[in-house]
Amino acid sequence: MVNRAAIRETYGCIRPYVRRTPTIEVDGDDFGMGGVRLVLKLELLQHTGSFKPRGAFANMLAHRIPAAGVVAASGGNHGVAVAYAAMKLGEPARIFVPTVASPTKIERIRGYGAELVVTGERYADALAESERWAAQSGALAVHAYDHEETLLGQGSVGLEFEEQAPEGVDALLVAVGGGGLIGGIAAWYEGRVPIVGVEPELAPTLARAMEAGRPVDAPAGGIAADSLAPRRVGELMFPLAAQWVERVVLVSDEEIRAAQEALWKTLRVVTEPGGAAAFAGARRAGFGKRVGVVVCGGNTTAVDFGRA
Amino acid sequence: MVNRAAIRETYGCIRPYVRRTPTIEVDGDDFGMGGVRLVLKLELLQHTGSFKPRGAFANMLAHRIPAAGVVAASGGNHGVAVAYAAMKLGEPARIFVPTVASPTKIERIRGYGAELVVTGERYADALAESERWAAQSGALAVHAYDHEETLLGQGSVGLEFEEQAPEGVDALLVAVGGGGLIGGIAAWYEGRVPIVGVEPELAPTLARAMEAGRPVDAPAGGIAADSLAPRRVGELMFPLAAQWVERVVLVSDEEIRAAQEALWKTLRVVTEPGGAAAFAGARRAGFGKRVGVVVCGGNTTAVDFGRA
């Protein structure tokens, strides 16, 4: 069961391995959003530059790891996180990534000592390959979003956020790819705070699922394709979203890029497109006076000190 | 008097105008510093990308602003902060900056609507010009570090840090240019936590002052010259440093650059050289098991989303 008690228990297991990322409260005026207070959860400061290690450690600490180690498929950040967690726990890892993965992420996976297999154009192709290999080798498959432990681990972002913003928020905005992060957070809050999903217009997995009443295939493109563009949301997250995600906002690639620029210019926070998507959604009006935003990833090649 | 009570009172005045920047606790292992816990104060997330608005607002809120407005001289960040504070408070500002100032900082000063005068090679030249103009126009001079209000404002970084790390640290590392930040923090802690200054080898203002027993001229060069290279530390900060700064560590330009790289690679925090200097100092051994670091500036041209 993915619920509050299980998330708390999982958090107790993974806490020694993850950073408790800070929140910062900023004035919406700074970003042209008058009258709004923003509470930003800076989860991009997590190990490996995204929230994904929470789920990776949750999986690996919940199971005995076979001799073949672990295997994962990933648009990038999950692969990096599994490689990192395997390194920390001293286990072998093999990571399948689609060709769309960013060079930064590929470099990191290699840097953590995992075996890297670049295969197929989209996440789904890499996933199919990884499943074949898991069946053949006996390696433990760590799913990017559609495992109970993954949801429990990502849900700890909600647990921390509530401790850091105990007075609550009028809405908490969370980017959606496969839905592991928002599913876990929704399960943590159980409706006590309105959870809003934010997706790229070009990768509307949760929006399409909500329309259809079940996970269905959606386009998987756009500027955040390396992190927010699996083909569909997970089966496990969908009932959580259906019950507790208040709505889904779609943002354009231009809005995501503008959000990246604004977060850097005004707050000195560097995000990847998927990491800025929830903030892009928050810039739309109508979420209330006090708005929470999970800033969930910072793996970009936009930084080069050699040119400063 | 620059002391704890005055810093607390000043903080009450400036609090509505400044961000309470977060701390994050990280494992020194992540940075090759085994057995150390680091508590990083992410003051680079402050308005304008550095701690300087604290002192700027402290000055402007403590005085009646004359019709001619305010004037400041600055290697960059202080000028940006005064321009920002003047904009927020609806007052005119004229900022004198040396030619060494970074393009990012000059662009920001203009962006906040201040009048900009680029003059002289070093901070001291810009300061002399600004003083002439203050005398002539009657504008309120806001000193980058050697005003009581400036020290009181910067001291609020210490106040917040203590609230955020109430269990204390074995040492708190702070970068030094003119010494306003470390002077204020030292005054806040009054010796209850060992304060360590970190300076570029090529701009050792506090180290030279400590040797001489008074502020003396020092070289003003190196990679962080646009923020940590005034000619000497302030007269007001020196007695505070002499009493409460435990020691001064000098770091090379290479160490500063490596610290910038490490903070980005391992924590996804983008700093300017002056903002990474204290962290560079922390990478030297011998500060204890739990080490605080003020990460005090993020104004760099190293970020370009167009190339991501």
pLDDT in tens, A292-301: 999 999 999 8
For residue B109, the distance in angstroms to the closest alpha carbon of chain A comes to 13
The structure's pTM equals: 0.96
Q: Is the pLDDT of residue A280 over 90?
A: yes
Under 8 Å CB pairs connecting chains A and B tally to: 78
In the numeric block, which tokens belong to residue A4?
A: 């509050």
Question: Nearest-CA distance from A124 to chain B in Å?
Answer: 24
Return left, alpha or beta for A65; rule: phi > 0 is left, psi -120 to 50 is alpha, else beta: beta
Q: What percent of chain B has pLDDT over 70?
A: 100
Task: Collect contacts of A126-135 with beta carbons under 8 A, ≥24 apart.
Answer: A126/A73, A126/A74, A126/A75, A126/A96, A126/A97, A126/A98, A127/A73, A127/A96, A128/A73, A129/A73, A129/A96, A130/A71, A130/A72, A130/A73, A130/A94, A130/A96, A131/A73, A133/A71, A133/A94, A133/A96, A134/A71
What local confidence, expressed as pLDDT, does residue B75 receive? 66
Burial class (CB in 10 A: 0-12, 13-18, 19+), B257: middle
Residues B273-291 have a mean pLDDT of: 96
| Residues present in chain B in total | 308
Q: Provide the token pair at B226.
A: 């646009």
Residue range A225-235: average pLDDT? 86
Q: Do B270 and A303 touch (CB under 8 A)?
A: yes
pLDDT tier for residue A75 given thresholds of 50, 70 and 90: low
User: Average pLDDT of chain B?
Assistant: 95
Q: For residue A14, is pLDDT > 90? A: yes
Q: What is the mean pLDDT of chain A?
A: 95
Q: Is the pLDDT reported for residue B35 higher than 70?
A: yes
β-pairing, B37-42 with B23-27? antiparallel
> Do the Cβ atoms of B270 and A21 come within 8 Å?
no
Helices (H), chain A: 4-14, 52-62, 77-89, 103-111, 123-137, 148-164, 180-189, 205-212, 225-228, 237-244, 253-267, 273-282
pLDDT by residue (tens digit) across A102-117? 787 888 899 999 999 9
For residue A183, give both structure tokens. Answer: 């599913």
Q: Do A264 and B303 touch (CB under 8 A)?
A: yes
Give the pLDDT band of residue B123 (cuts 50, 70, 90). Answer: confident
Q: B257–A304: do the CB atoms touch at under 8 Å?
A: no
| Shortest CA distance from A108: residue in chain B | B265
Closest residue of B to A223, CA-based?
B308
Q: Is B304 close to A304, i.e. CB distance below 8 A?
A: yes
**Could you tell me what percent of chain B has a pLDDT over 90?**
87
Residues on chain B touching A267 (C-beta within 8 angstroms): 45
At B86, list the tokens. Answer: 């003047």
Instruction: Answer yes or no: do A307 and B304 touch at CB < 8 A.
Output: yes
Give the tokens for residue B291.
Answer: 């080490």
Residue of A nearest to B44 (CA): A268
A197 or B301: which leads in pLDDT: A197
Give yes or no for residue A226 having a pLDDT over 70.
yes
Tell me the three state secondary structure of residue B156.
helix
Can you tell me the mean pLDDT for B292-299? Answer: 97
Comparison of pLDDT for A244 and A122, the residue scoring more = A244
What average pLDDT score do residues A236-254 get? 98
Cα A24 to Cα A36: distance, rounded to the nearest angstrom: 14
| Residue contact B19–A22, C-beta within 8 A | no
Number of DSSP helices (H) and strands (E) in chain A, helices first: 12, 10
Say whether pLDDT at B52 is over 90.
Answer: yes
Convert the pLDDT of each residue in A22-66 to its tens digit: 999 999 999 999 999 999 999 999 999 999 999 999 999 999 999
> Residue A263's closest chain B neighbor by CA?
B45
Query: What's the average model confidence in pLDDT over A168-193?
Result: 97
Give the closest-approach CA distance of B183 to chain A in angstroms. 25
The residue in chain A having the minimum alpha-carbon distance to the alpha carbon of residue B29 is A88
Which two tokens mark B15? 């609090």
With an 8 Å Cβ cutoff, are A23 and B21 in contact? no
Task: Please work out, in degrees rounded to the nearest 5, the angle formed at the alpha carbon of residue B102 by the alpha carbons of B100 and B108.
Answer: 130
Averaged pLDDT for residues B8-30: 98
State yes or no: pLDDT of B98 exceeds 90.
no
Which of B50, B303, B304 should be substituted to probe chain A, the one whose Cβ sees the most A Cβ atoms within 10 Å? B303
Residue among B246, B268, B253, B259 at smallest CA distance from B172 = B246
B305·A260 Cβ contact <8 A: yes
Give the pLDDT band (50/70/90) at residue A230: confident
In this prediction, residues B146-161 reach a mean pLDDT of: 97
Q: Over the Cα atoms of chain B, what is R_g?
A: 18
Supply the DSSP string of A143-190, one letter for each residue.
-SSSSHHHHHHHHHHHHHHHHHSTT--SEEEEE-SSSHHHHHHHHHHT
CB contact under 8 A, A22 and B22: yes
Amino acid (1-letter code) at residue B194: P
Q: What is the DSSP letter of B29?
A: G
What pLDDT score does B100 carry? 79
Q: In 3-state terms, what secondary structure has residue B298?
A: coil
Question: What is the distance in angstroms between the Cα of A286 and the nearest Cα belonging to chain B?
Answer: 24
Average confidence (pLDDT) over B108-115: 93
